[in-house]
Structure 1
C-alpha cells in the first residue's frame, strides 16, 4: 500500500536592500529596481511551488483510495472473524444433532428387531459443505397377530420397549407406545376369552363322552338282562328216554 505524504517546502529568505551610507548621494533608482525585481520573482516562485505541492497532494489521494479499494477487493469473498465464529457454532450444533438423531433411530431399530425397519434420515448441508442428519424415522409393525392373542401380547411387549428405547422419546414414540399398550390390553382380553372358550369346549366334549359311555353301558346292560329273561330251550333227552321204553328186547334161545 502506498501512503501519500505532503512534500516539505521552505520559502527562500526575502532579500532586504542594504542601507546606503550617510555620505552617499541620492539612491540609484536603477539599482533599487534591480534589487526589487528578484524579490517579486521569489514571491511568485513561492506561490507556484505551493500550488505544485497542493497538486501533488491531490494526485496522491486517488492513489491512496485506489490502494484501499484494491485491498478491499483482495479481501472480498473471505468471511469475517465474526462470521467464521457463527459458522463454527452452526457446524458444532449440526454435529451434535447428527449424533443425537442417529443414536435415537438406531435404538428403535436395535430393540424392535424383526418388527422394526431400517432407519431413514433427513439431511441438511452445513457451511462446510457436509451433510448432517437433522431428522429420522424407523417404521415399526403395531398390528395384532391374527387369531393368536398370546403371540400378539409377546409382539406388543417388544414394540413397547422399542418405542421407549431412546433416552428422550419423541411425541411420535409416545403415541406408538400408547398403541402398543392398547393392543396388549385387547390381547389379554382375547386371551381370557379364548381360554374360557377352550375350557367350555373341553367340558362339553367330556360331557358328550360321558353320555356316550352311559349309552354304551345301558345298551350292554339291556342286552344282558334280555339274555337272562329268555327261557332256556327244552331238553330232548327225556323224550328220548321215554321213547326207548317201548322197544322190544330180542329173545335169546337157551338150549338144554
Structure 2
C-alpha cells in the first residue's frame, strides 16, 4: 500500500502564538493523516478479509458440492444395475459343483467416486478320468456350473458346449466298455455252457460204457 505525501509548510518569521497555533495545526494535521492512514488500512484489511473469505468459499464450493447432472445420475443408475447383475451372475456360477475358486471382478469408477463391478469370472475345472463314468459325472458338473445363471453369457454357453462334446466321447467310451463287458459275459456264458454240455456228454458216455456187456 502506498500513501501520498500530505505535509504543510510553515514560515519561519512567526511569533510564539503563531508558532504554537502552527504547531497545534501541524499536530492536528498529522493526527488527521494518521487517522486517514488507519482508516485506509482498516478498509483495506476489511477488503482483504472479504476477498479471502470469497476465495475460501469459492475453493470450498466444488469440494462440498455433491450434486450430479442428469447424465451422471443416469450413468450411476446404470452402473448400479450392472453391478448387481454381475454379482448375481457370478454368485450363481460359484454355487455350481465345478467351481474351484472365488469370483474376480473388473471395476469401473462411477461419477460418485464409488467402484462398481462391470464384469466378472469364476474359475471352472474340467476333469477327465481313465474311467468314462467318472468323466461323465465331472462334465455334467461343468455344464451345470456354466449354465447356472438365469442369463448365461456367450462364454458360459461355449464352455457348456465344449463340456458336452467331451461328455459325448466319454459316453461312447462307456457304452463301448459296457458292450465289451456284455460280449465277454456272453462269451463266458457260452464257454461255460459248452463246457457243461461237454462234461454232461462225457458222463453219459461213461455210463453207457458201464452198461455194456
Alignment TM-score, normalising by the size of structure 2: 0.61
User: What's 2:130 paired with?
Assistant: 146
User: What's 1:221 paired with?
Assistant: 204
The answer to whether 1:196 aligns with 2:196 is no
5+ residue gaps, structure 2, are 1-39
5+ residue gaps, structure 1, are 1-55, 232-256
The equivalent position to 1:185 in structure 2, one of 168, 182, 194, is 168
Q: Distance in 1 between matches of 2:165 and 2:141?
A: 14
Helix, strand or coil for the counterpart of 1:76? helix
Deviation of 1:145 after TM superposition, in Å, equals: 4.3
Alpha-carbon contact 2:98-2:145 (below 8 Å) kept: no
Alignment TM-score, normalising by the size of structure 1: 0.53
Deviation of 1:169 after TM superposition, in Å, equals: 2.3
Distance 1:174-1:168 versus aligned 2 partners, 3 A rule: same
Q: Distance in 1 between matches of 2:177 and 2:89?
A: 38
Structure-to-structure mapping, 1:96-175, within 5 angstroms? 96-110=81-95, 112=96, 114-122=97-105, 124=107, 126=110, 128=112, 130-149=114-133, 151-175=134-158
Deviation of 1:92 after TM superposition, in Å, equals: 3.2
Distance 1:131-1:202 versus aligned 2 partners, 3 A rule: same
Deviation of 1:64 after TM superposition, in Å, equals: 7.0
More helix by share: 2
Helix, strand or coil for the counterpart of 2:105? strand
